[in-house]
């Protein structure tokens, strides 16, 4: 078989070489197998045995996930158990085995297909979404009825090291890959700041997204190379390619700890400009790794992952316990917690809201929280209570301008008032900031700066809303330009507005993690860089190797250029000149 290369969007750096595993959601095909009258009881017993086994496996899995990652990640299995316990379904299967004299697996798969069809055609979006749960269950039961190798390979039980190839991975799929034998992943859809890319970085595995048809062009067990830096997936690599990549992988591995010596040093330029290098946090399990990288705190704690992978909403106590654990683990460093940013590709099934109500321009983030103060207040109470146990700041996502910021603060004030009345302690001085990720917020940054205690620029969204480029759409991924002159001007404007009012301006979008932009962002005057933990040491090293003066000059020049490409070229050139040792090794 000859080698071929698929080109996608680089999503998380690194190289992986291994066997492909296709996570598909396609129909289950079970051939008919007629049985004799006397075999009917045997088939029914096999079916019941398979149901029992599946139930045991699900319970064991639920326990395992609860122990390893926490209860909230395991609650998805409750929904699966409920499907399994549906008496109508089991009675239907038994009746049909008797009537049609067909094997248990054949009858079961046909009945399940009908179930899945009914679910997928439901008007209610939430129920429609449940068809994938029903599909998962069907595969589990079938695995217990027939030769295991024919069916779904469970991500949770991966024993081999595999490269996951999927059309798309849901936030719950990626969250369940934590600490698993996943070498890398590659998906048909997605852009460089989609949740798949963000999770890959936090899991520390290479990823390529937006490959369009990888699931059709790669087969199970194909040998593949995932090159997360260049956005390539090489299928059936020949010996020459393999040895080149093996050597490259070795080289990257040997470089892994090369900046460890600066872990405890400040992120300070050669001429004395000090900034903070912080980590973005998706799952609390990442904290030991974050601390080992010398982050000076958490600059963005994305709380929506807490709401995923479960059939209900997290209550106040659960959230309080989780947030408290994070602030305590990070002490004495500070944790910037972001309030719920539901919407776009952060989809929360337990809310039972039709999915088409919250696309990127729909009912997202604050627009949702303002309408659902019941859900929002629960989170605010949990956050405020946790603030008492460490150093915490709080910020709102997707603020559109001062009026919205004020409305949310009114809710916050009422929550604070209640806590005071109940004599529940919280940090009375907790700072509340605004994320600047909507162009209208950047344009009104001068007004917002009078009310917010800090800004954090979310470039992942700021770029998509400024350029009208959906951040997860692989068709438009090439137009997603972080250095577009409009984006740079909005960043510059935000920094200036913040500094005029003496407030700190952070940047927590993926742009922060990419060394090619570090000089430019430094020169634009950012005070804090919050990023995927894997990039912290390299970015800190870079900052320590250059002067603020050079960075400012670069930013000035960049602001005169007319295209994003020219700015990228300038950044790359200056980086090569000013810090060749740091970037060459990474192949920026
Ligand atoms: C951003 O938009 O840049 C950001 C950090 O938020 P998220 O990626 O979670 O939308
Ligand atoms: Mg955002």
Q: Are 200 and 283 in contact (CB under 8 A)?
A: no
Predicted confidence at residue 84, as pLDDT, reads 81
390's CB contacts (< 8 A; 6+ apart) are 324, 327, 328, 330, 331, 332, 334, 335
CA 262, 263, 269 angle in degrees (round to 5)?
Answer: 50
Residue 387, in any domain of the structure: yes
341-351 confidence digits (pLDDT tens): 988 777 665 56
Same domain assignment for residues 365 and 477: yes
CA 458, 544, 338 angle in degrees (round to 5)?
Answer: 25
366-400 confidence digits (pLDDT tens): 998 999 999 999 999 999 999 999 999 999 999 99
* Rounded distance from Cα 266 to ligand 1 centre (Å): 25
Q: Which of 82, 110, 145 is the last residue of a domain?
A: 145
pLDDT top residue among 69 and 224: 224
Same domain assignment for residues 481 and 522: yes
Same domain assignment for residues 135 and 187: no
Same domain assignment for residues 249 and 341: no
**453, two tokens:** 């205690």
Query: Cα–Cα distance between 201 and 61 in angstroms, integer?
Result: 25
Residue 582, in any domain of the structure: no
Handedness of CA 545, 547, 550, 556 (dihedral sign): positive
Say what percent of the chain tops pLDDT 70.
Answer: 90
**Number of other CB atoms surrounding residue 541 within 10 Å:** 20
Same domain assignment for residues 520 and 443: yes
**439, two tokens:** 């162009």
Query: Cα–Cα distance between 4 and 290 in angstroms, integer?
Result: 37
Identify which ligand lies nearest to the alpha carbon of 459. 1
Same domain assignment for residues 21 and 53: no
Same domain assignment for residues 101 and 225: no
Nearest ligand 1 atom to alpha carbon 304: 9
Q: Which of 204, 223, 255 is the last residue of a domain?
A: 255
* Rounded distance from Cα 292 to ligand 1 centre (Å): 24
pLDDT top residue among 280 and 308: 280
Residue 129, in any domain of the structure: yes
Nearest ligand 1 atom to alpha carbon 459: 3
Q: Ligand 1 pocket test: pick from 283, 343, 397, 517 the residue with the most ligand atoms within 8 Å of its Cβ.
A: 397
Does the active-site annotation cover 508? yes
Neighbour-count burial of 231, counting CB atoms closer than 10 A to its CB (0-12 exposed, 13-18 middle, 19+ buried)? buried
Nearest ligand 1 atom to alpha carbon 344: 10
504's CB contacts (< 8 A; 6+ apart) are 454, 455, 498, 527, 528
71's CB contacts (< 8 A; 6+ apart) are 318
Largest Cα–Cα separation, the chain? 88
Same domain assignment for residues 127 and 227: no
What residues have their beta carbon closer than 5 A to ion ligand 2? 437, 458, 461
Predicted confidence at residue 90, as pLDDT, reads 86
Residue 580, in any domain of the structure: no
Same domain assignment for residues 333 and 444: yes
Query: pLDDT at residue 354 above 70?
Result: no
* Rounded distance from Cα 82 to ligand 1 centre (Å): 35
Mean pLDDT score across all residues of the chain: 88
CATH of the domain at 289: 3.20.20.60
Q: Which of 195, 333, 369, 571 is catalytic?
A: 195
**What's the total number of domains in the chain?**
3
Identify which ligand lies nearest to the alpha carbon of 345. 1
Q: Which of 213, 228, 255 is the last residue of a domain?
A: 255
Ligand 1 site residues (CB inside 6 A) read 193, 300, 302, 341, 437, 458-461, 508-509
Query: Cα–Cα distance between 275 and 268 in angstroms, integer?
Result: 6
Look at strands 391-396 and 431-436 and give their pairing: parallel
Residue 440, in any domain of the structure: yes
Q: Which residue has the tokens 């009914």?
A: 118
Say what percent of the chain tops pLDDT 90.
Answer: 57
Residue 211, in any domain of the structure: yes
CATH of the domain at 68: 1.10.274.10
The verdict on whether omega for the bond into residue 332 sits within 30 degrees of 0, i.e. cis, is: yes
Residue 47, in any domain of the structure: yes
Does the active-site annotation cover 195? yes
> Could you give the dihedral angle defined by the CA atoms of residues 546, 551, 554 and 558, in that order, rounded to the nearest 10 degrees?
130
Same domain assignment for residues 200 and 213: yes
Q: Ligand 1 pocket test: pick from 435, 482, 505, 517 the residue with the most ligand atoms within 8 Å of its Cβ.
A: 435
**354, two tokens:** 């039709």
Nearest ligand 1 atom to alpha carbon 397: 6
CA dist list (Å): 399 to 259, 339, 362: 37, 11, 14
Same domain assignment for residues 316 and 337: yes
Q: Helix H segments across 208-286?
A: 214-217, 239-255
Residue 78, in any domain of the structure: yes
490-515 confidence digits (pLDDT tens): 999 999 999 999 999 999 999 999 99
pTM: 0.77
Residue with CA closest to ligand 1 atom 7: 460
Neighbour-count burial of 217, counting CB atoms closer than 10 A to its CB (0-12 exposed, 13-18 middle, 19+ buried)? middle
Residue 249 domain boundaries: 4-27+153-255
Same domain assignment for residues 314 and 336: yes
């Amino acid at each position: 078989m000859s080698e071929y290369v698929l080109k996608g969007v680089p999503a998380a750096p690194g190289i992986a070489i291994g066997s492909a595993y296709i996570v598909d959601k396609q129909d289950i095909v079970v051939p008919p197998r007629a049985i004799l009258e006397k075999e009917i009881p045997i088939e029914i017993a096999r079916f019941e045995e398979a149901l029992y086994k599946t139930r045991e496996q699900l319970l064991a899995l639920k326990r395992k996930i609860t122990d390893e990652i926490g209860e909230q990640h395991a609650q998805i299995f409750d929904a699966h158990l409920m499907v399994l316990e549906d008496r109508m379904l089991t009675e239907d299967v038994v009746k049909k085995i008797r009537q049609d004299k067909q094997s248990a697996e054949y009858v079961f798969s046909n009945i399940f297909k009908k179930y899945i069809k009914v679910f997928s055609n439901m008007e209610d979006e939430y129920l429609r979404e449940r068809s994938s749960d029903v599909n998962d269950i069907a595969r589990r039961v079938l695995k217990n009825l027939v030769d295991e190798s024919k069916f779904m390979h469970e991500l949770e039980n991966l024993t081999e090291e595999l490269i996951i190839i999927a059309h798309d991975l849901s936030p719950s799929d990626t969250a369940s890959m934590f600490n698993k034998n996943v070498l890398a992943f590659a998906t048909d859809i997605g852009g460089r700041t989609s949740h798949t890319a963000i999770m890959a970085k936090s899991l520390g595995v290479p990823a390529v997204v937006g490959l369009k048809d990888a699931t059709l062009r790669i087969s199970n067990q194909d040998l593949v190379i995932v090159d997360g830096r260049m956005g390539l997936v090489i299928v059936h690599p020949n010996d020459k390619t393999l040895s080149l990549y093996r050597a490259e992988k070795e080289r990257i591995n040997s470089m892994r700890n090369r900046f460890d010596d600066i872990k405890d040093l400040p992120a300070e330029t050669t001429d004395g400009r000090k900034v903070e290098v912080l980590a973005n946090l998706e799952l609390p399990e990442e904290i030991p790794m974050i601390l080992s990288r010398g982050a000076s705190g958490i600059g963005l704690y994305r709380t929506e992952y807490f709401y995923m992978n479960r059939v209900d909403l997290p209550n106040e106590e659960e959230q309080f316990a989780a947030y408290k654990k994070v602030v305590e683990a990070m002490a004495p460093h500070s944790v910037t917690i972001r309030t719920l940013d539901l919407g776009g590709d952060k989809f929360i099934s337990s809310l039972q809201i039709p999915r088409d109500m919250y696309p990127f321009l729909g009912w997202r983030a604050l627009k949702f929280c303002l309408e659902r103060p019941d859900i929002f207040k629960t989170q605010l109470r949990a956050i405020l209570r946790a603030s008492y146990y460490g150093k915490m700041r709080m910020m709102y996502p997707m603020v559109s301008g001062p009026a919205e910021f004020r409305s949310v603060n009114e809710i916050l004030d009422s929550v604070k008032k209640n806590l005071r009345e109940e004599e529940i302690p919280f940090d009375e001085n907790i700072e509340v900031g605004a994320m600047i990720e909507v162009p209208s917020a950047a344009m009104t940054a001068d007004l917002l700066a009078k009310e917010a205690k800090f800004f954090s620029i979310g470039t992942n969204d700021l770029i998509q809303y400024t350029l009208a480029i959906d951040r997860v759409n692989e068709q438009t991924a090439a137009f997603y330009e972080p250095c577009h002159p409009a984006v740079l001007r909005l960043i510059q404007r935000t920094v200036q507005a913040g500094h005029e009012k003496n407030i700190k301006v952070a940047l927590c979008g993926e742009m922060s993690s990419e060394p090619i932009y570090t000089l430019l962002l430094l020169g634009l005057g950012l005070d804090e860089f919050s990023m995927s933990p894997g990039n912290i040491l390299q970015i800190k090293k870079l900052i320590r190797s250059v002067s603020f003066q050079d960075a400012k000059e670069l930013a000035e020049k960049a602001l005169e250029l007319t295209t994003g490409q020219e700015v990228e070229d300038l950044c790359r050139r200056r980086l090569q000149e000013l810090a060749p040792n740091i970037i060459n090794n990474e192949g920026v």
